[in-house]
């Protein structure tokens, strides 16, 4: 592979051979038994001539009349071609007169390793720059910041829940999910906060909502959905505000948090200011029609759903509804490209615009999750459904 080529993937296989052979024998078997399998454009010799794969490295050792080792193939192809090369090598069953077995260990994304090195180097550069960039103006800003630094996080109730120091005197309390949320709101000057600490609402929080006016400010993810349902069932919460879809309260800027809290207060003020007309007769709520999937896909979703609920995992399926793999929802967007032939993704999470864009690029036609925000634009030829729209909950 010449200097201008960029290695994208490293195909790694291991092998065992019933006999004593040398590297040249292994190389000969690899090239000989894969030649012509998929036409000249995917022939290993042609791929090397076109700088699509580099020098094939062989490590081997012989013991007790048996040879074992590894094969390393650097490739600048796409992931589909790299996978095809790996599968072709797994078909090699003889080296010389000896029976052999080749097995894929992994296809390493070399670019990911390179990105990691670049990231670590960037951190080092930033650290050096930061240590040299202090100025009198920055010191002055630091001095002013220290003067308005918020107080310490305190504990509330027998559960010792994290809370802002204003929780005891305020007539209103803002319920959040965790300690990091409390700290972030304190940075914005909001001290009447109390962390619930999980999906199970503590008894002291339930009691407090009966004594003080309470609102909730929750993350815009699946966890926030679960806590919202729990709060509405067991506590006296006047309204529930949410971070934008896919984001957490702890990562919002002070301006973003204040805008969300202010928006909720203004909406409530407008509702109170409107004159109360004569009460109309109650109407039945509109019912959203359920989506009907193709029979086999519908059955597959119903099969997967019970084990998927609250798991924060994702299933990637091919066109025949065969499960290609299962990954954490947090890794779904970054790993989807690695699944060749992916057509359907069923996952315990929110369908974001970023996921839709990546899925479209990878050839996925159906996304099924817990929520599809109104702001998400689904392109023609792709479908995005929620479990509730499929009659599941």
Domain count across the chain: 3
- Same domain (yes/no): 188, 91: no
* Strands laid side by side in the 98-109 sheet: 57-63, 66-75, 9-17, 98-109, 94-95
Query: What is the number of other CB atoms lying within 10 angstroms of the CB of residue 107?
Result: 20
Which pLDDT score, from 0 to 100, does residue 274 have? 57
- Same domain (yes/no): 317, 368: yes
- Residue 282 in domain: no
- Same domain (yes/no): 154, 196: yes
Residues 302-355 pLDDT 10s: 898 988 877 778 999 999 999 999 988 878 888 888 899 999 999 988 888 888
Q: What is the CATH number of the domain that holds 186?
A: 3.40.1360.10
Looking at residue 341, the DSSP 8-state letter turns out to be T
Token pair, residue 179, equals: 């300690």
- Same domain (yes/no): 195, 303: no
- Residue 360 in domain: yes
- Same domain (yes/no): 155, 269: yes
Which pLDDT score, from 0 to 100, does residue 192 have? 93
Which pLDDT score, from 0 to 100, does residue 311 have? 77
Q: Select from 112, 133, 157 the last residue of a domain.
A: 112
Which pLDDT score, from 0 to 100, does residue 367 have? 94
Q: Select from 96, 112, 128 the last residue of a domain.
A: 112
Q: What is the CATH number of the domain that holds 42?
A: 3.30.70.2690
Q: What contacts 163, CB < 8 A, 6 or more positions away?
A: 153, 154, 155, 156, 182, 193, 194, 195
Which pLDDT score, from 0 to 100, does residue 268 have? 57
| pTM, two decimal places | 0.36
- Residue 190 in domain: yes
- Same domain (yes/no): 166, 262: yes
Q: Domain range for residue 20?
A: 9-112
- Same domain (yes/no): 155, 268: yes
- Residue 358 in domain: yes
Which pLDDT score, from 0 to 100, does residue 136 have? 56
- Residue 123 in domain: no
- Same domain (yes/no): 250, 314: no
- Residue 223 in domain: yes
- Residue 129 in domain: no
CA distance 163 to 190: 11
**Ranges in the chain, pLDDT < 50:** 2-4, 147-148, 276, 279-289
- Residue 131 in domain: no
Residues 55-98 pLDDT 10s: 899 999 999 999 999 999 999 888 888 899 989 989 999 998 99
Q: Select from 273, 304, 332 the last residue of a domain.
A: 273
- Same domain (yes/no): 382, 320: yes
Q: What contacts 376, CB < 8 A, 6 or more positions away?
A: 351, 352, 353, 356, 384
CA 227 vs CA 60, 104, 376: distances in Å = 56, 43, 23
């Amino acid at each position: 592979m010449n200097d201008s080529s960029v290695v994208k993937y490293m195909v790694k296989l291991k092998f065992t051979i019933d006999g004593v052979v040398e590297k040249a024998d292994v190389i000969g078997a690899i090239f000989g038994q894969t030649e012509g399998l998929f036409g000249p454009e995917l022939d290993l010799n042609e791929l090397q001539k076109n700088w699509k794969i580099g020098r094939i490295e062989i490590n081997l050792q012989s013991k007790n009349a048996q040879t074992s080792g590894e094969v390393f193939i650097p490739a600048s192809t796409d992931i589909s071609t790299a996978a095809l090369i790996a599968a072709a090598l797994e078909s090699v069953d003889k080296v010389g007169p000896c029976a052999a077995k080749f097995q894929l260990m992994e296809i390493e994304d070399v670019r990911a390793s390179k990105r990691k090195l670049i990231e670590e180097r960037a951190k080092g550069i930033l650290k050096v720059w930061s240590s040299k960039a202090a100025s009198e103006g920055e010191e002055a800003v630091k001095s002013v910041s220290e003067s308005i630094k918020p107080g310490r996080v305190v504990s509330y109730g027998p559960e010792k829940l994290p809370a802002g120091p204003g929780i005891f005197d305020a007539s209103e309390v803002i319920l959040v999910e965790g300690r990091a949320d409390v700290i972030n709101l304190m940075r914005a000057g909001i001290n009447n906060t109390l962390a619930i600490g999980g999906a199970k609402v503590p008894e002291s929080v339930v009691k407090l909502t009966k004594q003080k006016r309470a609102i909730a400010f929750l993350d815009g993810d699946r966890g926030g959905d679960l806590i919202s349902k729990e709060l509405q069932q067991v506590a006296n919460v006047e309204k529930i505000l949410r971070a934008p879809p896919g984001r957490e309260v702890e990562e919002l800027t002070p301006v973003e948090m204040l805008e969300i809290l202010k928006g909720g207060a203004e909406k409530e003020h407008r509702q109170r200011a409107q004159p109360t007309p004569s009460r109309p007769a109650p109407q039945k709520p509109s019912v959203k029609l359920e989506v009907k999937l193709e029979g086999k896909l519908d059955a597959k979703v119903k099969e997967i759903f019970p084990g998927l609920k609250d798991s924060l995992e994702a299933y990637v399926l091919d066109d025949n509804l065969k499960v290609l793999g299962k990954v954490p929802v947090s890794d779904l967007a970054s790993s989807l490209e690695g699944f060749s032939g992916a057509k359907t993704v069923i996952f315990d999470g929110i369908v974001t615009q970023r996921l839709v864009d990546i899925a479209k690029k990878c050839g996925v036609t159906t996304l099924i999750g817990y929520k599809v925000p109104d702001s998400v634009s689904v392109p023609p030829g792709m479908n995005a459904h929620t479990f509730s729209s499929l009659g599941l909950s």
